[in-house]
Amino acid sequence: MTKSVPDKAEVAVEYPDKLYIGTFERTARFEAHLDETGISLSLHRIGAEDVRKSVRMHFHYALFAEILRDLAKTVAALPATDITHREALRDAAKTLYLALARGDSNDDADLTPDQEMRLMHILE
């Protein structure tokens, strides 16, 4: 199921002789899901043929897990005063954590104190 892009994404694909750059803003759509081998992400800019474009990426689970670990190591780059982005990322990580812990996608669940502590250690 595709959803509207809530903010903005920029994609660059660089080859030795070519550079492709695409921007996906609020009028674009995205889809993200897990499959048997990893994480699938798609961005779609809809419209006339001259502006329409799509980007599809697939990361196997081990690579995506390493990407998450690297992101956790660089949280200090996000200013402590940027509460809006910190809360959005924290809440999304919490939702993913709970879904993985339970084997479902119940995004209304609350963390137990033990789960909160484990999540904090994971994100450190």
Span 66-107, pLDDT tens digits: 999 999 999 989 999 999 999 999 999 999 999 999 886 554
Distances (CA, A) of 68 to 11, 44, 48: 19, 24, 36
**Which pLDDT score is estimated for 97?**
93
What span, in angstroms and rounded, lies between the C-alpha atoms of 43 and 41? Answer: 7
pTM of the model: 0.74
What span, in angstroms and rounded, lies between the C-alpha atoms of 98 and 119? Answer: 10
Which residue reads 């809006």 in tokens? 84
Q: Where are the domains of the chain?
A: 3-60, 74-123
pLDDT tens track for 37-46:
999 999 999 9
Phi, psi of 118 (to 5 degrees): -65, -40
